[in-house]
Amino acid sequence: MIGTFYRPGRSFLHRFDPRCKLVLLLLFLVLFLLSIPLTLLGGYLVFLALMILAALNARELVRPLKVIGPLLLLVVVLTPPFHREGQVYLSIAGWPLLTSEGVLETVRLLVRFTGITLALFAFLRTSSPEQVLLTLRWFGLPFEACLALGIALQYMPTLHDLYLQVVDAHRLRGSAREAGAPRPRGLLRRLRADLLPVLTSVLIVAVRRITVLAMALEVRGVGLRIRRSSYTRLPAGRPLLRDALIGAGICALALAALFVFT
Amino acid sequence: MRAKKRARQLPGSPALRIATIAILTAVTAVLTWLVRIPVPATKGYFNLGDTVIYFTAFTLGPVSALLTGGLGTAIADLIGYPTFAPISLFVHGLQGLVAALIAVIPLGGKRSRGTFGPSWIVAAAAGTVVMCGGYLAAETVMVGFGAALVELPFNLLQNLVGALVGISLSLAVRKAYPPVLELRW
């Protein structure tokens, strides 16, 4: 499988039922997008951070923050000029650059973006792609859609290798330019000379694989209107009940805090 | 005699449709995330996700473009920047759908239907508006209007290049491998 965020482990987040994790993820995504008091948003963010710290470690908590760091910096720099209401803290030539509203809105956006990132990271880091697909199927996504997604994830490394092979093959054939010929100038000309032949070859090979893959799927009975069985299943019984109760408790607490503080 | 309603047949078998979506989703994800073209003038990179979306829209039809555009870019974002995955799923899917639907309108006369003509250019423009507008709206909510505005010129440039290369790819692949049109969905 292609390198996703997932890393195997035995933490409580890894062992938590992926269906409950998905429901909590959706809940937190919605909560972070609502216009609710900043203290409440901050509380949700702290909860997520503590959960990742307890389940994984500080290095794992910093990992997604390092990825979004440059974007957070952009938010800090570019948000205040667009919110000029409230008490002025800094102005240049009478033009308010930093105001109280600007600071609040900047903090709100930082908390929102970081919270959404941590929620998605906690889910993807502790749920394997197989678990994610089984969860989606459990929630009603058709088998054919899950199959297409699973095949796509498995084909990605193959297609990446194919792309590199095609690039090397074109380079060996010198299709872009003959020895000694000048390199085309301009981005569009270089794209046309270097990239177009490579992409055409890659797409033709990929499209040819579609019919072969379709035949392989038909031979295995895909598309027949039969009752399907499943080799792997998500856990049921007591573990699911335990995780569902914990998930319901977290949902209840989050929603109770929402109603109390708004 | 009661008139029998003819059941609408979807093109190809279910296995062929699954294979089409799976392979094209993988191609979109790979060319969005793993293949990056450096832009020396800006010291940045642009990706080929929009190129593949326009290729799919003009060659393989609206449903393929909707599903592979949304899923492929969302998977690529899940590998790198998961925060943008839900946005990519909807915006790029809609971009592919809109471009594919407009591309089949015979704006240049009946003979231009399904081939390169004014409709493809209008389709690419519409796809660009959907993609840039969608990202601007969604990122305004996520990171504020200022930061969202910074990305707008890059999105426009990426769409322009994506449309040009996507149209060229569609014409080249149709010429080199005509059976590709049988996979339209």
Which value does ipTM take for this structure? 0.86
Q: What percent of chain B has pLDDT over 70?
A: 85
Residue-by-residue pLDDT tens, chain B, 185 positions: 444 444 444 567 889 999 999 999 999 999 988 777 766 555 556 788 999 999 999 999 999 999 999 999 999 988 878 888 999 999 999 999 999 999 988 876 666 566 788 889 999 999 999 999 999 999 998 888 888 888 899 899 999 989 999 999 999 999 999 988 888 88
Instruction: Name residues whose C-beta falls within 8 Å of residue A171's C-beta, 6 or more positions apart in sequence.
Output: none
Tell me which chain A residue has its CA closest to the CA of residue B85.
A120
Contacts B20 to A, Cβ<8 Å: 210, 214
Mutate to test the interface with A, among B9, B18, B90, B151 (most CBs of A within 10 A): B18
Do A114 and A173 belong to one domain?
Answer: no
Contacts A210 to B, Cβ<8 Å: 16, 19-20, 23, 183
CA separation for the pair A253, B83 (Å, rounded): 24
Chain-chain contact of A67 with B30 (C-beta, under 8 angstroms): no
Do A93 and A151 belong to one domain?
Answer: no
pLDDT at B100: 94
Do A98 and A176 belong to one domain?
Answer: no
The tens digit of pLDDT for each residue in B36-49 reads 776 655 555 678 89
- The answer as to whether A110 is a domain residue is yes
- The answer as to whether A76 is a domain residue is yes
Do A18 and A120 belong to one domain?
Answer: yes
Contacts B43 to A, Cβ<8 Å: none
- The answer as to whether A226 is a domain residue is no
CA distance B92 to chain A (A): 17
Do A203 and A251 belong to one domain?
Answer: no
Instruction: Give the 3-state DSSP-derived string for chain B, with helices as H, strands as E and coil as C.
Output: CCCCCCCCCCCCCHHHHHHHHHHHHHHHHHHHHHCEEEECCCCEEEECHHHHHHHHHHHHCHHHHHHHHHHHHHHHHHHCCHHHHHHHHHHHHHHHHHHHHHHCCCCCCHHHCCCCCHHHHHHHHHHHHHHHHHHHHHHHHHHHHHHHHHHHHHHHHHHHHHHHHHHHHHHHHHHHCHHHHHHCC
CA distance A159 to chain B (A): 7
Whole-model pTM: value is: 0.87
Alpha helices in A90-194 (DSSP H): 100-126, 129-138, 143-173, 187-190
Q: Strand A95-99 and strand B44-47: pairing?
A: unpaired
Nearest to B22 among A78, A148, A200 (CB): A148
Mutate to test the interface with A, among B30, B60, B79, B154 (most CBs of A within 10 A): B30
Chain-chain contact of A156 with B164 (C-beta, under 8 angstroms): no
Do A203 and A241 belong to one domain?
Answer: no
Residue A74, SS3? Answer: helix
Contacts A209 to B, Cβ<8 Å: 19, 23
Tell me which chain B residue has its CA closest to the CA of residue A193.
B165
pLDDT at B6: 41
- The answer as to whether A4 is a domain residue is no
A213 touches B at CB < 8 Å: yes
CA separation for the pair B32, B45 (Å, rounded): 11
- The answer as to whether A47 is a domain residue is yes
Per-residue CA distances from A191 to A41, B52, B165, B168 (Å): 46, 14, 8, 11
pLDDT at B19: 94
Chain-chain contact of A120 with B82 (C-beta, under 8 angstroms): yes
Chain-chain contact of B183 with A210 (C-beta, under 8 angstroms): yes
Nearest of B3, B67, B75 to residue B32 by alpha carbon? B75
Chain-chain contact of B79 with A3 (C-beta, under 8 angstroms): yes
Residue-by-residue pLDDT tens, chain A, 262 positions: 445 678 888 899 999 999 999 999 999 999 999 988 999 999 999 999 999 999 988 888 888 888 888 888 889 988 888 888 888 888 888 878 888 888 999 999 999 999 999 999 999 999 998 899 999 999 989 888 999 999 999 999 999 899 889 988 888 876 545 555 555 566 666 666 778 888 999 999 999 999 999 999 999 888 777 777 777 788 888 888 999 999 999 999 999 998 888 7
Chain-chain contact of A160 with B30 (C-beta, under 8 angstroms): yes
Q: Which domains does chain B have, with CATH numbers?
A: 14-177 (1.10.1760.20)
- The answer as to whether A241 is a domain residue is yes
- The answer as to whether A7 is a domain residue is no
* E strand or H helix that includes residue A99: strand A95-99
**Strand partners for A99:** A88
- The answer as to whether A193 is a domain residue is yes
Beta carbons within 10 angstroms of residue A249's beta carbon: 10
Do A158 and A121 belong to one domain?
Answer: no
Give the structural domain span for A201: 138-219
Do A165 and A107 belong to one domain?
Answer: no
Do A120 and A22 belong to one domain?
Answer: yes
Do A98 and A157 belong to one domain?
Answer: no
One-letter identity of residue A141: L
Domains of chain A: total: 2
* E strand or H helix that includes residue A221: none
Do A99 and A178 belong to one domain?
Answer: no
Chain-chain contact of A214 with B26 (C-beta, under 8 angstroms): no
Instruction: Name residues whose C-beta falls within 8 Å of residue B162's C-beta, 6 or more positions apart in sequence.
Output: B48, B49, B50, B51, B53, B54
Do A161 and A120 belong to one domain?
Answer: no
Nearest to B177 among A82, A144, A204 (CB): A204
pLDDT at A7: 87
